[in-house]
Structure 1
Amino acid sequence: MGLFDFFTSELAIDLGTANTLILNKDQIVVEEPSIIALDRATGKVIAIGKQAMQMHEKTHDNIKTIRPLKDGVIADFHAAEQMIRAMIKMSKVNNKFFATSHRMVICIPSGITEVEKRAVRDSAEHAGAKEVFMIPEPVAAAIGIGIEIDEPMGSMVVDIGGGTTEIAIIALSGIVCDESIRIAGDIFNRDILDYMRRQHNLLIGERTAEMIKIQTGAAVTELDGDAPADFEVRGRDLVTGIPKIISVSYQEVAFALDKSLAKIEDAVLKALETAPPELAGDIYDRGIHLTGGGALLRGLDKRISLKTKLPVHVAEDPLRAVVRGTGIALKHIDQYKPILMQ
């Protein structure tokens, strides 16, 4: 190990709309919600990650909670920078005696603009990065689930995150065709929130909508095997203004999410339509791979499979596939240079 290596740490970062994961030396050192709580008067960071999430939608006038990323890209530059810096500090990769410089590989949505790309790079550099590389999210997801992306075989990855759904057909270390739509976990939460208001006259917050999605979320109204139990929802009655509890079934959640899921299906079909015929043959054999938090939605694989008539595989650990792939690209940086952007 040279002197330079001693002062350099290598970080793979999945900077997500809902969650941020940081990987160092094959270990996930940070896995926190992408949210930060600030003091309104001084601008000082009060909490980040899980702690800030507990404060979300419960704050008084002196505290504000910010989710710096929207639709997979940085919406609040200053807050994003503070959040990245604080999360790097949480990862404890800094040398005790000297300031450590970081080489970072950060994954980004494939449909990102140059301006949005620059915002990611600037935030990382302000947070202490000496070298910043960027990798498209679906490519990182493919590497993370063990697909050999440099082969002349086509693979299709659908990565459903918090802000965007990334659909890509990958071959020969590159994206042949892709679709990026801003319908993902956050929109699902909003759908559930709207449904509760319309159907049950119940006003709930973002966090409760997220809990409903996780505990009893489904993509189809009939599930084979283990169906989740009904979930008790607490909120405010819009008629009386008094808090009340109601039970919600997975069928209701599937109904609430139906329109958004149909848009994801359409985007998958659109990507398949634009695929070269030879690659279409590979996808027929290999099927579609689902990654990201949205892949955990019960019955989503069955729903997409019915629509496309193709086999659909849910990745083993869909939430961490992207960060693991980013880590592998960082470890073998020379091998993956063609797909990394600086």
Structure 2
Amino acid sequence: MSMFSAMLNCLGLDMGSSQVRIYQRDKVLLEEASTAVVDNISGQVLGFGTEALIIYHKEPENYTLEWPVRNGVIADYDMTKSMLRFFLNKSLRRSVSRPSLMVAIPAEISSVTRHALVDALIHAGAQGVYLIPSPAAAAIGAGRDLQVPSSTLSLVIGRDVSDVGIYGCGGILAQEGISFGGHDIDRAICRHIQDRYSMMIGLEQAEKLKSEILSMTGTGSDRAFTVRGRRHADGVEVVVELSVAEMSSVMQRIMEPVLLLIRRVMSRATPEMADDFLKNGMLLSGGGALLDGLRDWLSESLHMPVTIPADPASVIAKGCFAACMMDKDHSLLIENGDKYFGGA
């Protein structure tokens, strides 16, 4: 029996820059924002996750939201440790034993970053920590068999990081990541509107446009929509009309780094792997997978099928838990965190 299978408190953990998801036995135990609310005067941390958002929005002038995980790495160790302890306790309210964690990590993070992550998780209450690349976890969560000779191409687009990996025969064939994600898309939308129309909009408004209106494949559409913001010169409130076609071209330019990343990783593939990609396509997951038209744009640009799992945002945590239960099958993908703990 797998060493994980005997553990009642094995958890799959996807600790993203915007969301923390904890998965166990066919259900999401926890899905909350990976944020903390801090009192502006005392500097005291008052809450984490959903609780932090509620406190902040009651009196935003008195509090600040802090995001202790940025670009896939820990930016504030103590805050991250406290946040993880809160989330683990909330997930396992009735348990008296310490959980073992299978944690999704970006494709490229340093040993120093891995040490900080493992150290924070152990001190937050984990019994053991095991690491798996996010694209591999997403593929496992989506039901892909990574043990077969056929190669799997997996792309994950998160808030701050995008990762691509090629997996097969139970191991890593190639993988790479870049510091680019949904938050960068929001900032780029703000920059375009300011540069083109001399109007400023907030990141929340840009995110709403991205998720509700903008499309990667709206070129040729005559639809238009209005955006309200502040004129850059004097701060006066103004309204501009934007076309879907114009913003479609903008979105394609913004997403160019992801396309280049995929092509770089694919350039390392053998002819046999390339044939697998044409037959099996690429798996697209993470919160960024929900961007309208992205699947079709990638498919057309890469000349291969692109599939999105039923729940692209939660599939990584699901895959982490599945890897827990089949650790011997994925021994070449899983890294034991013990070597990063205790100063190693």
Q: TM-score, normalised by structure 1?
A: 0.87
CA displacement at 1:123 relative to structure 2: 1.3
Distance between the aligned counterparts of 2:200 and 2:56, measured in 1? 16
Corresponding position: 1:265 with 2:259: yes
C-alpha RMSD of the superposition: 2.8
What amino acid sits opposite 1:213 in the alignment? Answer: K
Q: Secondary structure at the match of 1:13?
A: strand
| Distance 1:150-1:189 versus aligned 2 partners, 3 A rule | same
> Which of 198, 201, 204 is the equivalent residue of 1:201?
198
CA displacement at 1:61 relative to structure 2: 6.9
Distance between the aligned counterparts of 2:110 and 2:261, measured in 1? 19
CA displacement at 1:16 relative to structure 2: 0.6
C-alpha contact 1:157 1:168 (8 A) present in aligned 2: yes
In the alignment, which residue of structure 1 is the partner of 2:46?
46
| Distance 1:339-1:36 versus aligned 2 partners, 3 A rule | same
What amino acid sits opposite 1:196 in the alignment? Answer: I
In the alignment, which residue of structure 2 is the partner of 1:339?
333
| Distance 1:204-1:128 versus aligned 2 partners, 3 A rule | same
C-alpha contact 1:216 1:253 (8 A) present in aligned 2: no
> Which of 164, 172, 175 is the equivalent residue of 2:172?
175
In the alignment, which residue of structure 1 is the partner of 2:150?
153
In the alignment, which residue of structure 1 is the partner of 2:69?
69
In the alignment, which residue of structure 2 is the partner of 1:212?
209
CA displacement at 1:105 relative to structure 2: 1.1
**CA deviation map 1:155-178 (0-9, x unaligned):** 111111111111111101111011
C-alpha contact 2:284 2:309 (8 A) present in aligned 1: yes
In the alignment, which residue of structure 2 is the partner of 1:304?
298
**CA deviation map 1:210-232 (0-9, x unaligned):** 21111123223338xxx9x8666
Q: TM-score, normalised by structure 2?
A: 0.87
CA displacement at 1:333 relative to structure 2: 3.1
In the alignment, which residue of structure 2 is the partner of 1:293?
287
Distance between the aligned counterparts of 1:162 and 1:77, measured in 2? 19
Distance between the aligned counterparts of 1:313 and 1:9, measured in 2? 32
Distance between the aligned counterparts of 2:198 and 2:54, measured in 1? 25
C-alpha contact 2:172 2:332 (8 A) present in aligned 1: no
Q: Secondary structure at the match of 1:337?
A: coil
C-alpha contact 1:9 1:94 (8 A) present in aligned 2: no
What amino acid sits opposite 2:261 in the alignment? Answer: A
Distance between the aligned counterparts of 1:210 and 1:284, measured in 2? 33
Deviates more, 1:32-41 or 1:111-120: 32-41
C-alpha contact 2:219 2:248 (8 A) present in aligned 1: no
| Distance 1:193-1:25 versus aligned 2 partners, 3 A rule | same
Deviates more, 1:187-196 or 1:202-211: 202-211
What amino acid sits opposite 1:274 in the alignment? Answer: R
Residues 114-153 of structure 1: matches in 2 within 5 Å? Answer: 114-153=111-150
What amino acid sits opposite 2:266 in the alignment? Answer: L
C-alpha contact 1:144 1:326 (8 A) present in aligned 2: yes
Distance between the aligned counterparts of 1:53 and 1:248, measured in 2? 31
What amino acid sits opposite 2:93 in the alignment? Answer: N
Deviates more, 1:28-37 or 1:59-68: 59-68
> Which of 307, 318, 340 is the equivalent residue of 1:313?
307
Q: Which has the higher contact order (CA 8 A, sep 6+)?
A: 2
Residues 83-94 of structure 1: matches in 2 within 5 Å? Answer: 83-91=83-91, 93-94=92-93
Task: Note the residue ranges of structure 2 that are not aligned, 5 or more in a row.
Answer: 337-344
| Distance 1:338-1:178 versus aligned 2 partners, 3 A rule | closer
Distance between the aligned counterparts of 1:73 and 1:59, measured in 2? 29
| Distance 1:260-1:307 versus aligned 2 partners, 3 A rule | same
C-alpha contact 1:237 1:243 (8 A) present in aligned 2: yes
Distance between the aligned counterparts of 2:294 and 2:332, measured in 1? 33
Corresponding position: 1:188 with 2:196: no
Question: How many corresponding residue pairs?
Answer: 332
| Distance 1:110-1:58 versus aligned 2 partners, 3 A rule | farther
What amino acid sits opposite 2:282 in the alignment? Answer: I
